[in-house]
A and B are shown apart, each in its own frame.
Chain A
Amino acid sequence: MRLSALTLLREAFSPERTPVWRTPEPKPAYRVIIVGGGGHGLATAYYLAKEFGVTDVAVVEKGWLGSGNVGRNTTIIRSNYLLDGNIPFYEHSMKLWEGLEQDFNYNAMVSQRGVLNLCHSDAQRDAYARRGNAMRLHGVDAELLDADGVRAMAPFLNFDDARFPIKGGLLQKRGGTARHDAVAWGYARGADLRGVDLIQNAEVTGFLREGGRIAGVQTTRGAIRAGRTGVAVAGNTSRVMAMAGFDRLPIESHVLQAFVSEGLKPIIPGVITYGAGHFYISQSDKGGLVFGGDIDGYASYAQRGGLPVLEDVVEAGMALMPMIGRAKLLRSWGGIMDMSMDGSPIIDRTPAEGLYLNAGWCYGGFKATPASGWHFAHLIAKDAPHPVAAAYRLDRFRTGRTIDEKGMGPWPNLH
Protein backbone atom coordinates (compact mmCIF):
# COMPACT_ATOMS: atom_id res chain seq x y z
CA MET A 1 0.00 0.00 0.00
CA ARG A 2 1.36 3.38 -1.01
CA LEU A 3 1.08 5.87 1.85
CA SER A 4 -0.49 9.26 1.21
CA ALA A 5 -2.64 11.84 2.99
CA LEU A 6 -5.66 9.81 1.90
CA THR A 7 -4.39 6.55 3.41
CA LEU A 8 -3.51 8.45 6.59
CA LEU A 9 -7.09 9.73 6.84
CA ARG A 10 -8.57 6.31 6.09
CA GLU A 11 -6.34 4.56 8.64
CA ALA A 12 -7.10 7.21 11.27
CA PHE A 13 -10.83 6.39 11.11
CA SER A 14 -10.39 2.65 10.66
CA PRO A 15 -11.08 0.53 13.76
CA GLU A 16 -8.32 -1.89 12.74
CA ARG A 17 -4.64 -1.12 12.51
CA THR A 18 -2.86 -2.45 9.45
CA PRO A 19 0.54 -3.91 10.35
CA VAL A 20 3.33 -2.10 8.54
CA TRP A 21 5.29 -5.29 7.83
CA ARG A 22 4.68 -9.04 7.88
CA THR A 23 5.99 -11.32 10.65
CA PRO A 24 7.05 -14.34 8.58
CA GLU A 25 8.39 -17.67 9.77
CA PRO A 26 12.00 -18.11 8.66
CA LYS A 27 12.45 -20.14 5.49
CA PRO A 28 15.17 -22.85 5.55
CA ALA A 29 17.39 -20.89 3.15
CA TYR A 30 17.87 -17.48 1.57
CA ARG A 31 20.26 -15.97 -0.92
CA VAL A 32 21.36 -13.37 1.65
CA ILE A 33 20.99 -13.11 5.43
CA ILE A 34 21.60 -9.83 7.22
CA VAL A 35 22.33 -10.22 10.93
CA GLY A 36 20.99 -7.18 12.79
CA GLY A 37 17.63 -5.50 12.29
CA GLY A 38 18.78 -1.99 13.13
CA GLY A 39 19.10 1.01 10.84
CA HIS A 40 22.07 -0.31 8.91
CA GLY A 41 20.79 -3.88 8.58
CA LEU A 42 17.34 -2.79 7.43
CA ALA A 43 18.81 -0.24 5.02
CA THR A 44 21.04 -2.97 3.60
CA ALA A 45 18.05 -5.26 3.03
CA TYR A 46 16.10 -2.39 1.48
CA TYR A 47 18.83 -1.44 -1.00
CA LEU A 48 19.62 -5.08 -1.78
CA ALA A 49 16.01 -5.47 -2.90
CA LYS A 50 15.54 -2.08 -4.50
CA GLU A 51 18.88 -1.22 -6.09
CA PHE A 52 20.53 -4.58 -6.65
CA GLY A 53 17.55 -6.85 -7.37
CA VAL A 54 18.27 -9.30 -4.54
CA THR A 55 14.89 -9.95 -2.88
CA ASP A 56 15.52 -13.41 -1.43
CA VAL A 57 16.80 -11.82 1.77
CA ALA A 58 16.18 -12.33 5.50
CA VAL A 59 17.03 -9.88 8.28
CA VAL A 60 17.49 -11.70 11.59
CA GLU A 61 17.17 -9.58 14.71
CA LYS A 62 17.56 -10.77 18.29
CA GLY A 63 14.99 -8.29 19.69
CA TRP A 64 12.52 -6.10 17.86
CA LEU A 65 13.35 -4.07 14.75
CA GLY A 66 15.23 -0.88 15.56
CA SER A 67 15.80 -1.88 19.19
CA GLY A 68 19.47 -0.90 19.23
CA ASN A 69 21.38 2.25 18.42
CA VAL A 70 18.97 3.49 15.74
CA GLY A 71 16.63 4.23 18.63
CA ARG A 72 19.36 5.49 20.95
CA ASN A 73 21.10 8.36 19.14
CA THR A 74 20.85 12.13 18.74
CA THR A 75 19.35 11.98 15.20
CA ILE A 76 21.95 14.25 13.55
CA ILE A 77 22.66 14.01 9.83
CA ARG A 78 25.65 15.77 8.23
CA SER A 79 28.57 15.23 5.88
CA ASN A 80 31.15 17.71 7.25
CA TYR A 81 34.21 15.45 7.13
CA LEU A 82 37.82 16.24 6.29
CA LEU A 83 39.46 13.19 4.73
CA ASP A 84 39.18 11.81 1.20
CA GLY A 85 38.10 8.37 2.35
CA ASN A 86 35.16 9.81 4.29
CA ILE A 87 33.74 12.86 2.48
CA PRO A 88 32.34 11.16 -0.66
CA PHE A 89 30.81 8.40 1.45
CA TYR A 90 29.07 10.70 3.91
CA GLU A 91 28.00 13.02 1.10
CA HIS A 92 26.44 10.03 -0.65
CA SER A 93 24.60 9.42 2.61
CA MET A 94 23.49 13.08 2.73
CA LYS A 95 22.14 12.85 -0.82
CA LEU A 96 20.25 9.67 0.04
CA TRP A 97 18.78 11.45 3.10
CA GLU A 98 17.60 14.27 0.86
CA GLY A 99 15.52 11.92 -1.27
CA LEU A 100 14.80 9.30 1.35
CA GLU A 101 11.16 9.95 2.14
CA GLN A 102 10.11 9.99 -1.52
CA ASP A 103 12.29 6.95 -2.12
CA PHE A 104 10.82 4.70 0.57
CA ASN A 105 7.43 6.46 0.81
CA TYR A 106 7.54 7.00 4.55
CA ASN A 107 7.78 10.14 6.66
CA ALA A 108 11.24 10.11 8.26
CA MET A 109 10.92 13.80 9.20
CA VAL A 110 14.24 14.68 7.54
CA SER A 111 14.82 18.30 8.47
CA GLN A 112 17.76 20.16 6.93
CA ARG A 113 17.95 22.77 9.64
CA GLY A 114 21.74 23.18 9.47
CA VAL A 115 24.72 21.95 11.47
CA LEU A 116 26.92 24.66 12.99
CA ASN A 117 30.34 23.83 14.50
CA LEU A 118 31.55 26.73 16.64
CA CYS A 119 35.20 27.78 16.85
CA HIS A 120 36.79 29.59 19.77
CA SER A 121 40.34 30.40 18.64
CA ASP A 122 42.18 31.50 15.52
CA ALA A 123 43.77 28.06 15.17
CA GLN A 124 40.41 26.40 15.34
CA ARG A 125 39.02 28.77 12.71
CA ASP A 126 41.93 27.84 10.44
CA ALA A 127 41.16 24.16 10.98
CA TYR A 128 37.50 24.77 10.10
CA ALA A 129 38.47 26.75 7.01
CA ARG A 130 40.56 23.78 5.92
CA ARG A 131 37.71 21.37 6.61
CA GLY A 132 35.23 23.59 4.79
CA ASN A 133 37.56 23.81 1.79
CA ALA A 134 38.02 20.03 1.77
CA MET A 135 34.24 19.67 1.76
CA ARG A 136 33.75 22.18 -1.04
CA LEU A 137 36.44 20.49 -3.14
CA HIS A 138 34.23 17.39 -2.94
CA GLY A 139 31.11 19.39 -3.87
CA VAL A 140 29.71 19.50 -0.33
CA ASP A 141 28.19 22.75 0.97
CA ALA A 142 30.18 24.51 3.68
CA GLU A 143 30.13 28.08 4.89
CA LEU A 144 32.58 29.75 7.26
CA LEU A 145 30.81 32.24 9.51
CA ASP A 146 32.36 35.02 11.56
CA ALA A 147 31.09 35.87 15.04
CA ASP A 148 28.42 38.21 13.64
CA GLY A 149 27.22 35.51 11.30
CA VAL A 150 26.85 33.14 14.24
CA ARG A 151 25.16 35.87 16.28
CA ALA A 152 22.54 36.35 13.58
CA MET A 153 21.70 32.63 13.74
CA ALA A 154 21.97 31.99 17.46
CA PRO A 155 21.95 35.23 19.48
CA PHE A 156 21.51 33.34 22.75
CA LEU A 157 25.03 31.88 22.79
CA ASN A 158 27.66 32.99 25.31
CA PHE A 159 29.75 35.00 22.81
CA ASP A 160 31.98 36.88 25.22
CA ASP A 161 33.01 34.05 27.50
CA ALA A 162 36.42 35.11 28.88
CA ARG A 163 38.07 31.74 28.29
CA PHE A 164 36.36 30.52 25.11
CA PRO A 165 34.84 33.46 23.17
CA ILE A 166 32.94 32.45 20.03
CA LYS A 167 35.03 33.48 17.00
CA GLY A 168 32.79 32.00 14.31
CA GLY A 169 31.71 28.65 12.99
CA LEU A 170 31.55 26.21 10.12
CA LEU A 171 28.01 25.82 8.86
CA GLN A 172 26.65 22.99 6.75
CA LYS A 173 23.15 24.15 5.84
CA ARG A 174 22.15 20.83 4.30
CA GLY A 175 22.84 19.01 7.58
CA GLY A 176 20.14 18.62 10.18
CA THR A 177 18.14 15.91 11.90
CA ALA A 178 15.81 13.03 11.07
CA ARG A 179 13.27 11.05 13.06
CA HIS A 180 15.46 8.09 14.05
CA ASP A 181 12.79 5.42 14.65
CA ALA A 182 10.92 6.35 11.48
CA VAL A 183 14.14 5.74 9.53
CA ALA A 184 14.22 2.15 10.78
CA TRP A 185 10.48 1.71 10.18
CA GLY A 186 10.65 3.20 6.69
CA TYR A 187 13.48 0.90 5.65
CA ALA A 188 11.77 -2.09 7.28
CA ARG A 189 8.51 -1.38 5.47
CA GLY A 190 10.28 -0.74 2.17
CA ALA A 191 12.26 -3.99 2.46
CA ASP A 192 9.19 -5.98 3.50
CA LEU A 193 7.15 -4.67 0.56
CA ARG A 194 9.87 -5.92 -1.77
CA GLY A 195 9.78 -9.43 -0.34
CA VAL A 196 12.47 -9.31 2.37
CA ASP A 197 11.62 -11.46 5.42
CA LEU A 198 12.10 -9.53 8.68
CA ILE A 199 12.62 -12.16 11.38
CA GLN A 200 12.45 -10.76 14.89
CA ASN A 201 13.27 -12.43 18.20
CA ALA A 202 15.82 -14.61 16.43
CA GLU A 203 19.19 -14.27 18.13
CA VAL A 204 22.16 -15.61 16.23
CA THR A 205 23.86 -18.31 18.31
CA GLY A 206 26.38 -19.53 15.75
CA PHE A 207 27.33 -19.72 12.10
CA LEU A 208 26.79 -22.64 9.72
CA ARG A 209 29.90 -23.76 7.90
CA GLU A 210 30.38 -25.68 4.70
CA GLY A 211 33.98 -26.52 4.04
CA GLY A 212 35.79 -23.29 4.76
CA ARG A 213 32.90 -20.99 4.02
CA ILE A 214 30.08 -19.49 6.08
CA ALA A 215 26.78 -20.94 4.87
CA GLY A 216 24.21 -19.26 7.11
CA VAL A 217 23.37 -18.79 10.76
CA GLN A 218 22.12 -20.80 13.69
CA THR A 219 19.45 -18.83 15.54
CA THR A 220 17.12 -19.27 18.49
CA ARG A 221 14.44 -19.87 15.84
CA GLY A 222 16.43 -22.56 14.06
CA ALA A 223 19.13 -22.80 11.42
CA ILE A 224 18.83 -20.59 8.34
CA ARG A 225 21.10 -21.21 5.37
CA ALA A 226 22.34 -18.47 3.09
CA GLY A 227 24.69 -17.99 0.18
CA ARG A 228 25.99 -14.78 1.71
CA THR A 229 25.76 -13.51 5.27
CA GLY A 230 26.21 -9.88 6.28
CA VAL A 231 26.80 -8.78 9.86
CA ALA A 232 25.62 -5.27 10.90
CA VAL A 233 25.32 -5.41 14.68
CA ALA A 234 27.12 -2.24 15.86
CA GLY A 235 28.29 -2.59 19.48
CA ASN A 236 27.87 -6.37 19.43
CA THR A 237 30.21 -6.86 16.47
CA SER A 238 32.94 -8.57 18.52
CA ARG A 239 30.43 -10.95 20.15
CA VAL A 240 28.82 -12.04 16.88
CA MET A 241 32.06 -12.23 14.90
CA ALA A 242 33.68 -14.34 17.65
CA MET A 243 31.14 -17.04 16.78
CA ALA A 244 32.55 -17.02 13.25
CA GLY A 245 36.08 -17.45 14.60
CA PHE A 246 37.19 -13.80 14.63
CA ASP A 247 38.19 -13.43 18.26
CA ARG A 248 40.17 -10.21 17.80
CA LEU A 249 38.95 -7.27 15.69
CA PRO A 250 40.03 -3.60 15.43
CA ILE A 251 36.98 -2.71 17.52
CA GLU A 252 36.24 -1.93 21.15
CA SER A 253 32.70 -1.41 22.49
CA HIS A 254 32.02 1.76 24.46
CA VAL A 255 28.95 3.42 25.93
CA LEU A 256 27.84 6.83 24.59
CA GLN A 257 25.17 8.67 26.53
CA ALA A 258 22.64 11.18 25.30
CA PHE A 259 20.14 13.35 27.11
CA VAL A 260 16.84 15.06 26.44
CA SER A 261 15.15 17.90 28.31
CA GLU A 262 11.47 18.61 28.83
CA GLY A 263 9.65 20.01 25.80
CA LEU A 264 10.26 23.72 25.24
CA LYS A 265 9.17 26.27 22.66
CA PRO A 266 11.43 26.45 19.57
CA ILE A 267 14.73 28.07 20.49
CA ILE A 268 17.67 26.10 19.01
CA PRO A 269 17.65 26.79 15.26
CA GLY A 270 19.60 23.74 14.08
CA VAL A 271 22.34 21.53 15.39
CA ILE A 272 24.99 23.45 17.33
CA THR A 273 28.29 21.96 18.49
CA TYR A 274 30.67 23.48 21.00
CA GLY A 275 34.29 23.74 19.88
CA ALA A 276 35.90 24.06 23.30
CA GLY A 277 34.48 20.88 24.77
CA HIS A 278 32.50 17.93 23.54
CA PHE A 279 28.86 19.07 23.43
CA TYR A 280 26.27 19.05 20.68
CA ILE A 281 22.63 20.06 20.87
CA SER A 282 19.53 20.22 18.74
CA GLN A 283 15.84 20.56 19.46
CA SER A 284 13.41 17.83 18.52
CA ASP A 285 10.13 18.61 16.79
CA LYS A 286 8.43 17.80 20.09
CA GLY A 287 10.48 20.57 21.73
CA GLY A 288 12.95 18.58 23.83
CA LEU A 289 16.57 19.69 23.77
CA VAL A 290 18.54 16.64 22.61
CA PHE A 291 22.20 16.76 23.54
CA GLY A 292 25.28 14.68 24.22
CA GLY A 293 29.04 14.67 24.52
CA ASP A 294 31.85 12.20 25.05
CA ILE A 295 31.78 8.45 25.53
CA ASP A 296 32.39 7.31 29.10
CA GLY A 297 35.89 6.12 28.24
CA TYR A 298 35.92 2.55 29.52
CA ALA A 299 34.88 -0.52 27.53
CA SER A 300 31.22 -1.31 28.13
CA TYR A 301 28.31 -3.39 26.90
CA ALA A 302 25.91 -2.11 29.57
CA GLN A 303 23.80 0.44 27.59
CA ARG A 304 24.04 2.85 30.50
CA GLY A 305 26.72 5.30 31.54
CA GLY A 306 27.83 7.15 34.64
CA LEU A 307 27.16 10.57 36.12
CA PRO A 308 30.65 12.08 35.53
CA VAL A 309 29.92 12.30 31.79
CA LEU A 310 26.55 13.90 32.48
CA GLU A 311 28.33 16.51 34.58
CA ASP A 312 30.89 17.17 31.82
CA VAL A 313 28.19 17.49 29.19
CA VAL A 314 25.95 19.87 31.10
CA GLU A 315 28.96 21.95 32.15
CA ALA A 316 29.88 22.41 28.51
CA GLY A 317 26.25 23.17 27.72
CA MET A 318 26.09 25.81 30.44
CA ALA A 319 29.35 27.37 29.22
CA LEU A 320 27.95 27.63 25.70
CA MET A 321 24.32 28.56 26.30
CA PRO A 322 23.64 29.48 29.93
CA MET A 323 19.92 29.84 29.18
CA ILE A 324 19.42 26.05 29.23
CA GLY A 325 20.23 25.95 32.96
CA ARG A 326 16.56 26.22 33.88
CA ALA A 327 15.43 23.37 31.62
CA LYS A 328 14.70 20.08 33.36
CA LEU A 329 16.46 16.96 32.19
CA LEU A 330 13.84 14.40 31.26
CA ARG A 331 15.67 11.26 30.16
CA SER A 332 19.12 9.91 29.43
CA TRP A 333 20.19 6.75 27.69
CA GLY A 334 23.31 4.93 26.59
CA GLY A 335 24.08 3.10 23.38
CA ILE A 336 26.96 0.72 22.71
CA MET A 337 29.30 2.07 20.05
CA ASP A 338 31.58 -0.15 18.01
CA MET A 339 34.59 2.17 18.32
CA SER A 340 37.19 1.39 15.67
CA MET A 341 40.92 2.02 15.90
CA ASP A 342 40.87 5.05 13.58
CA GLY A 343 37.36 6.37 14.19
CA SER A 344 36.17 5.31 10.73
CA PRO A 345 33.92 2.40 9.76
CA ILE A 346 34.52 -0.97 8.13
CA ILE A 347 32.46 -2.22 5.17
CA ASP A 348 34.32 -5.20 3.78
CA ARG A 349 34.49 -8.88 2.97
CA THR A 350 36.04 -10.98 5.71
CA PRO A 351 38.68 -13.70 5.37
CA ALA A 352 35.82 -16.22 5.82
CA GLU A 353 34.18 -16.70 2.41
CA GLY A 354 30.50 -15.80 2.37
CA LEU A 355 30.75 -13.53 5.41
CA TYR A 356 30.62 -9.73 5.11
CA LEU A 357 31.14 -7.15 7.84
CA ASN A 358 29.64 -3.70 8.42
CA ALA A 359 31.00 -2.25 11.67
CA GLY A 360 33.13 0.34 13.41
CA TRP A 361 30.66 3.22 13.19
CA CYS A 362 31.84 4.86 16.42
CA TYR A 363 29.40 7.65 17.19
CA GLY A 364 28.71 8.35 13.52
CA GLY A 365 26.36 5.52 12.72
CA PHE A 366 23.04 7.28 12.42
CA LYS A 367 23.95 9.84 9.75
CA ALA A 368 25.61 7.06 7.76
CA THR A 369 22.55 4.77 7.77
CA PRO A 370 21.48 5.23 4.12
CA ALA A 371 24.97 5.05 2.59
CA SER A 372 26.02 2.24 4.94
CA GLY A 373 23.05 0.19 3.76
CA TRP A 374 23.56 1.12 0.12
CA HIS A 375 27.27 0.26 0.08
CA PHE A 376 26.92 -2.88 2.19
CA ALA A 377 24.19 -4.02 -0.23
CA HIS A 378 26.54 -3.28 -3.16
CA LEU A 379 29.34 -5.25 -1.52
CA ILE A 380 27.13 -8.28 -0.79
CA ALA A 381 25.32 -8.27 -4.15
CA LYS A 382 28.42 -7.84 -6.29
CA ASP A 383 31.06 -9.27 -3.96
CA ALA A 384 33.05 -6.09 -4.60
CA PRO A 385 33.03 -2.69 -2.90
CA HIS A 386 31.79 0.41 -4.69
CA PRO A 387 34.70 2.88 -5.18
CA VAL A 388 33.10 5.37 -2.76
CA ALA A 389 33.33 2.91 0.14
CA ALA A 390 36.44 1.06 -0.99
CA ALA A 391 38.63 2.66 1.68
CA TYR A 392 36.66 1.07 4.55
CA ARG A 393 38.74 -2.09 4.52
CA LEU A 394 39.07 -4.47 7.42
CA ASP A 395 42.82 -4.86 6.86
CA ARG A 396 43.67 -1.14 6.67
CA PHE A 397 45.14 -1.21 10.18
CA ARG A 398 47.67 -3.78 9.00
CA THR A 399 48.55 -1.89 5.83
CA GLY A 400 48.63 1.54 7.45
CA ARG A 401 45.83 3.00 5.29
CA THR A 402 43.85 4.24 8.25
CA ILE A 403 41.27 7.05 7.97
CA ASP A 404 41.85 8.93 11.19
CA GLU A 405 39.93 12.25 11.13
CA LYS A 406 41.29 13.31 14.49
CA GLY A 407 44.79 11.89 14.09
CA MET A 408 44.48 10.09 17.41
CA GLY A 409 46.01 6.72 16.62
CA PRO A 410 44.69 3.36 17.75
CA TRP A 411 42.89 4.59 20.88
CA PRO A 412 39.22 3.79 20.47
CA ASN A 413 38.18 5.77 23.56
CA LEU A 414 39.71 8.97 22.13
CA HIS A 415 37.97 9.02 18.73
Chain B
Amino acid sequence: MIIDHPLCGPRDAREFTVLGDAAWMDRPDPAAPDAAEAFHAYACLRANPAGVTRELWWHEHGDRSWLVVTRDTLSHAVLKVELAEDVARASKAAR
Protein backbone atom coordinates (compact mmCIF):
# COMPACT_ATOMS: atom_id res chain seq x y z
CA MET B 1 0.00 0.00 0.00
CA ILE B 2 1.35 3.43 -0.98
CA ILE B 3 0.41 6.50 1.04
CA ASP B 4 0.68 9.68 -1.03
CA HIS B 5 1.98 11.98 1.70
CA PRO B 6 1.11 15.67 1.10
CA LEU B 7 4.67 16.74 2.05
CA CYS B 8 6.88 13.70 1.41
CA GLY B 9 5.24 12.28 -1.72
CA PRO B 10 4.36 8.61 -2.24
CA ARG B 11 5.65 6.54 0.71
CA ASP B 12 5.38 2.83 1.54
CA ALA B 13 2.71 2.06 4.17
CA ARG B 14 5.44 0.30 6.19
CA GLU B 15 6.74 3.71 7.29
CA PHE B 16 3.44 4.38 9.07
CA THR B 17 1.54 3.13 12.07
CA VAL B 18 -2.25 3.19 12.10
CA LEU B 19 -4.07 4.65 15.08
CA GLY B 20 -7.60 4.02 13.81
CA ASP B 21 -10.85 5.85 13.09
CA ALA B 22 -10.34 9.58 12.34
CA ALA B 23 -13.38 10.29 14.52
CA TRP B 24 -10.80 10.33 17.33
CA MET B 25 -9.96 13.90 16.30
CA ASP B 26 -13.37 15.12 17.46
CA ARG B 27 -13.05 14.82 21.20
CA PRO B 28 -16.33 15.35 23.07
CA ASP B 29 -16.75 18.18 25.52
CA PRO B 30 -15.82 16.79 28.98
CA ALA B 31 -17.96 19.45 30.67
CA ALA B 32 -21.13 18.59 28.75
CA PRO B 33 -23.93 16.95 30.77
CA ASP B 34 -23.85 13.85 28.53
CA ALA B 35 -20.04 13.58 28.68
CA ALA B 36 -19.95 10.01 30.06
CA GLU B 37 -22.11 8.71 27.23
CA ALA B 38 -20.27 10.78 24.64
CA PHE B 39 -16.86 9.53 25.78
CA HIS B 40 -18.06 5.92 25.76
CA ALA B 41 -19.12 6.34 22.13
CA TYR B 42 -15.94 8.24 21.33
CA ALA B 43 -13.59 5.64 22.82
CA CYS B 44 -15.39 2.37 22.19
CA LEU B 45 -17.90 2.52 19.36
CA ARG B 46 -16.97 2.40 15.68
CA ALA B 47 -18.91 2.85 12.45
CA ASN B 48 -16.61 0.20 10.90
CA PRO B 49 -17.80 0.74 7.31
CA ALA B 50 -17.30 -1.79 4.51
CA GLY B 51 -16.21 0.79 1.98
CA VAL B 52 -14.82 4.28 2.39
CA THR B 53 -13.38 5.06 5.81
CA ARG B 54 -11.16 7.78 7.30
CA GLU B 55 -8.27 6.81 9.54
CA LEU B 56 -5.47 8.51 11.45
CA TRP B 57 -2.05 7.34 10.26
CA TRP B 58 1.24 8.43 11.82
CA HIS B 59 4.36 8.77 9.69
CA GLU B 60 6.49 7.16 12.39
CA HIS B 61 9.51 6.31 10.23
CA GLY B 62 9.28 9.53 8.25
CA ASP B 63 8.46 13.14 9.11
CA ARG B 64 6.34 12.05 12.12
CA SER B 65 3.31 13.95 10.93
CA TRP B 66 -0.25 12.79 11.58
CA LEU B 67 -2.32 12.15 8.48
CA VAL B 68 -5.98 11.58 7.76
CA VAL B 69 -6.07 8.78 5.18
CA THR B 70 -9.30 8.12 3.31
CA ARG B 71 -9.34 4.47 2.19
CA ASP B 72 -11.66 1.83 0.83
CA THR B 73 -11.71 -1.11 3.26
CA LEU B 74 -13.04 -3.44 0.53
CA SER B 75 -10.24 -2.82 -1.98
CA HIS B 76 -7.47 -1.25 0.16
CA ALA B 77 -7.37 1.65 -2.34
CA VAL B 78 -6.08 4.91 -0.85
CA LEU B 79 -8.41 7.67 -2.01
CA LYS B 80 -7.16 10.79 -0.24
CA VAL B 81 -4.36 11.78 2.14
CA GLU B 82 -4.45 15.01 4.17
CA LEU B 83 -2.38 16.45 6.99
CA ALA B 84 -4.36 15.96 10.19
CA GLU B 85 -3.58 19.50 11.29
CA ASP B 86 -5.16 20.86 8.08
CA VAL B 87 -8.27 18.77 8.72
CA ALA B 88 -8.42 19.97 12.32
CA ARG B 89 -8.02 23.59 11.27
CA ALA B 90 -10.73 23.28 8.63
CA SER B 91 -13.16 21.69 11.07
CA LYS B 92 -12.41 24.40 13.66
CA ALA B 93 -13.01 27.10 11.05
CA ALA B 94 -16.30 25.43 10.07
CA ARG B 95 -17.41 25.55 13.70
Contact = CB atoms under 8 A, between A and B. Distances in A.
Q: Which of B37, B44, B49, B73 has the most CB of A within 10 A?
A: B44
Contact of A238 (B14, B50, B71): B50
Given A253-B50, A306-B13, A298 B41 contact: no
A250 B45 CA distance: 4
Contacts of B40: 397-398
A239 B46 CA distance: 12
A55 interface: no
Nearest to A238: B48
A249 B49 CA distance: 11
A52 interface: no
B14 A413 contact: no
A302 B47 contact: no
A268 B75 CA distance: 36
Contacts of A251: 46, 48
B73 A300 contact: yes
A306 B21 contact: no
A341 B44 contact: yes
B65 interface: no
A252 interface: yes
Interface string A276-312: 0000000000000000000001111110001010000
A306 B53 contact: no
Contacts of B46: 238, 248-252, 412
A300 B18 contact: no
B1 interface: yes
Contacts of B48: 238, 248-249, 251-253, 299
B20 interface: yes
Contact of A252 (B14, B20, B71): B20
A333 interface: no
A306 B47 contact: no
Interface string A57-74: 000000000000000000
Report, as a range, how many residues of chain A touch the other chain.
20 to 34
A410 interface: yes
Nearest to B49: A238
Contacts of A156: none
| Size class of the contact patch on chain B | 20 to 34
Contacts of B13: 298, 306, 308
Given A252-B21, A253-B50, A306-B1, A298 B45 contact: no
A300 B73 CA distance: 4
A409 to B, nearest CB: 8
Contact of A302 (B18, B20, B49, B75): B75
A158 to B, nearest CB: 25
A225 B13 CA distance: 46
Nearest to B74: A301
A389 B43 CA distance: 24
B55 A247 contact: no
A239 B76 CA distance: 17
Given A248-B41, A397-B40, A298 B71 contact: yes
A297 B76 contact: no
B90 to A, nearest CB: 23
Interface in A247-274: 247-253
Contacts of A412: 20, 46
Interface string B7-46: 0000001100110110000000000000001001101111
Nearest to B41: A248
A239 B73 CA distance: 12
Most B CB contacts (10 A, CB to CB) among A247, A298, A302, A308 go to A298
Contacts of B14: 308
B27 to A, nearest CB: 14
Q: List 5 tightest A-B contacts by C-beta distance, closest first.
A: A238-B48, A397-B44, A248-B45, A301-B50, A341-B44
Interface of A: 236, 238-239, 247-253, 297-302, 306, 308, 341, 397-398, 410-413
28 contacts: A236-B50, A238-B46, A239-B50, A248-B41, A249-B45, A251-B48, A252-B48, A253-B48, A253-B50, A253-B73, A297-B17, A298-B1, A298-B13, A298-B71, A299-B21, A299-B53, A299-B55, A300-B76, A301-B50, A301-B73, A302-B73, A397-B43, A397-B45, A398-B37, A398-B40, A410-B44, A412-B20, A412-B46
